[in-house]
Structure 1
């Protein structure tokens, strides 16, 4: 698979396969206690490096992973979002995490619409979920804006099995209806 050719553009954003140049901003995200609390917790730079490699590895081995989301004009890395399904995961996830300076600008919703369309078309998924920490109200708002609903408590695989998680989601058919509000 030619990963360099995978690129989605929205009005303000570019979604593409992660690159080494994205790491510094990713490390900043994981260094921020508040920003990292719902995505596996704070990590120093060396540990952030190992976590950063998960997405390029997923792309190479599974043919998909979370996209790096960048500002279309400046190229600044804003976060990561997209299809994610590690071993033992409770479903086909569209996950997201953004650098704190990108919060509150609608980037997650804008990027998610494009990534969901891509995942359903390219990966043939019949449904998708979002695994959200119960106290993460901002992520729940994004999921609800996308039309996802609370499906119940979830159980993540080790090493996250003790972290509470809510599963939000929808079917591909529901997305086709929900997608109309973003046209």
Structure 2
């Protein structure tokens, strides 16, 4: 999947160092899915990437995990997911994790549009993002990118989480383009 500035591509084990900079960073880890802890070292990151690569090979489309690479310099700056949510795997979660140095550039908006377009082109009618109540940055990002707050629940991960939904009819490229990153004129 490509956007104007990003390439969402399959993870590779040689991405481990860049991935550790993201998933091992305290400011990212505190917001990770309850199913995932902060990655402690390069060895653990390599093992996790190997696991993700193997799992992705078994996923039916549209599910998966992707490295988020900046197109201009091919630097891995984050990760993105489209995964079924527990407990019943009937709802699909869209998410992303970006290195804190990349926050504020609207890369989250580009990830949202790319993942949603991918999901809807593969037959999903709606996708969700679940957000911890204190994560105001992500809650703001999903709202800016067309997702609608639908309430709070303990359904997923047995935690109090805010739930945002995007339906295929809500995906509006014109609205996304209204959130241009700062370097566009």
Superposition RMSD in Å = 2.1
1:4 corresponds in structure 2 to none
1:5 corresponds in structure 2 to none
How far off its partner does 1:174 sit? Answer: 2.2
1:30 corresponds in structure 2 to 23
SS at structure 2 position matched to 1:66: strand
How far off its partner does 1:55 sit? Answer: 3.3
SS at structure 1 position matched to 2:82: strand
Supply the distance in 2 between the matched residues of 1:154 and 1:10 (Cα, whole angstroms).
Answer: 32
Q: Deviations over 1:55-110 (max 9, x none)?
A: 32332111331221101021110111241125525721111111122111111111
How far off its partner does 1:165 sit? Answer: 1.6
**Structure in which a larger fraction of residues adopt helix:** 1
Q: Residue 92 and residue 165 in structure 1: after superposition, are their counterparts in 2 closer, same or farther (change >3 A)?
A: same
The reply on whether 1:57 has 2:57 as its aligned counterpart is no
Structure 2 unpaired stretches of 5+ = 178-185
Aligned residues: 170
How far off its partner does 1:155 sit? Answer: 3.0
1:131 corresponds in structure 2 to 130
Please say if residues 69 and 80 of structure 1, whose CA atoms lie closer than 8 Å, have aligned partners that are also in contact. yes
1:98 corresponds in structure 2 to 98
Supply the distance in 1 between the matched residues of 2:59 and 2:70 (Cα, whole angstroms).
Answer: 26
Map 1:34-49 → 2, pairs under 5 A = 34-39=27-32, 40-45=36-41, 46-49=43-46
- What TM-score do the two structures reach when normalised by structure 2? 0.81
1:12 to 5, 16, 24: 5
Q: Residue 151 and residue 181 in structure 1: after superposition, are their counterparts in 2 closer, same or farther (change >3 A)?
A: same
Please say if residues 13 and 46 of structure 2, whose CA atoms lie closer than 8 Å, have aligned partners that are also in contact. no
Structure 1 unpaired stretches of 5+ = 1-7
